[in-house]
Amino acid sequence: MINIQNLHFAYRKKPVFTGLSLRLQPGHIYGLLGKNGTGKSTLLRNIAGLLFPDKGSIDVLGFTPGKRQPAFLQEIFIVPEEFYLPDVPLQHLVQYHAPFYPKFNKAQFEKYIAEFDIPVASSLQNMSYGQKKKVLISFGLASNASMLLMDEPTNGLDIMSKSQFRKVMAGVMDENKCIVISTHQVKDLENLIDRITVIDEGKILFDQTVDTISRKLSFQIAFDSEEIKQALYGESSLRGSAIITANTTGEESKLDLELLYKAIVLNGPAITAVFKD
């Protein structure tokens, strides 16, 4: 679905990607994780055709994104971190914007709007940032585009909305869709994403499915100092030490995304070594 080969990209003279390669398949929700300024948003913009690679190639559904052909744009929807919605009533957004997306489903849109508790009669200008974001997410999902790119989608959402977001997202996935969620708020994505891709310094540091991670790694709370010492990564908490070890028993534990992310960033080689077996 998305095939990125040897991507080079720089802002003026500041390189962001120097040879990044990545393949994303339909039927998955990818969590794109990374520190601030590592190029997550830049990667999404390259995929959406808003930025052009300096070198290398990007293929999305057989299209070259940079050409921004209508047939490509109909199949991709981006929810940026900072976004703009025109000052129009909600009905006008559907009436005038939706016809650009042939697979747009109005009933679906209304369903998401209801789930997000958005006041239907309100104009977009009178809505809060969080409400507008939920409108944009609802529109993106109802567009039924094959590629949905979301940059920090839970930023600005309150606690209830974050849980509504997870609920809505869990219900939209099908085998033809590919959703990429870029975030550094990893807790918001737990139980939602099924593949984790970590970018650092413009390179892919880690790229595994949640199933594989659960099979290969074990997440637990440890009190035994020897166990803590031998862990691939650990950090102390009030309830003992949260550690990651290689899963030798075959018993699956609950994935702690935040802990895993820290482990990859701070002790990447040890973590990736487990997956080489």
Partner 1 sequence: MGKHWSENRKKYTLALIAIAGLLLLWYTVMLISDGYWGIGPSVQLSTYYSGLFIAGCLYGSMLFADLGSKTRGLNYLVVPASHLEKLFCSLFYAVVVFFVCYTSIFYIVDAIMLKAGNALAYNHWLKHHAAGDVFEPRKIANVFYQSEQSRKPDMLVYLLLLYFVIQAVFIVGSVYFARFSFIKTTIAALLTGLFIAFLIGKVIFPILPHGSFYQGITSYKVYTVKEGVTINGVTEGISIYSDPATDKLVTLPTWIGDVLLFLLKFAFAPLLWLATYFRLKEKEI
**Contact footprint for partner 1 (CB under 8 A):** 45, 48-52, 68-71, 73-74, 76-78, 80, 82-88, 92, 95-97, 100-101
Specify the residue, 54 or 117, whose C-beta has the smaller distance to partner 1.
54
**From the CB of 186, what's the least distance to partner 1, in Å?**
25
Length of the chain: 277
Count how many Cα atoms sit within 13 Å of the Cα of residue 134 in the half-sphere of its side chain.
28
**From the CB of 73, what's the least distance to partner 1, in Å?**
4
Specify the residue, 101 or 261, whose C-beta has the smaller distance to partner 1.
101
**From the CB of 99, what's the least distance to partner 1, in Å?**
8
Specify the residue, 81 or 190, whose C-beta has the smaller distance to partner 1.
81
Contact (Cβ atoms closer than 8 angstroms) between residue 262 and residue 203: no
Measuring CA to CA, which residue among 144, 148, 200, 155 is closest to residue 24?
Answer: 148
**From the CB of 152, what's the least distance to partner 1, in Å?**
13
Specify the residue, 83 or 266, whose C-beta has the smaller distance to partner 1.
83
Specify the residue, 100 or 163, whose C-beta has the smaller distance to partner 1.
100
Burial of 184 (0-12, 13-18, 19+ CB in 10 A): middle
Instruction: Show the beta-strand stretches assigned E in 121-192.
Output: 147-151, 178-183
**From the CB of 1, what's the least distance to partner 1, in Å?**
18
109-143 burial code (b ≥16 CB/10 A, e <16): bbbbbeebebeeeeebeebeebbbbbbbbbbbbbb
Question: CA-CA distance, 134 to 140, in Å (whole number)?
Answer: 10
Instruction: Show the beta-strand stretches assigned E in 61-152.
Output: 76-79, 147-151
**From the CB of 115, what's the least distance to partner 1, in Å?**
24
Cβ contacts of residue 108 below 8 Å, gap of 6+? 141, 142, 144
Specify the residue, 135 or 231, whose C-beta has the smaller distance to partner 1.
135
**From the CB of 181, what's the least distance to partner 1, in Å?**
17
Specify the residue, 101 or 116, whose C-beta has the smaller distance to partner 1.
101
Question: CA-CA distance, 246 to 231, in Å (whole number)?
Answer: 8
Which residues are paired to 195 by β-bridges? Answer: 30, 209
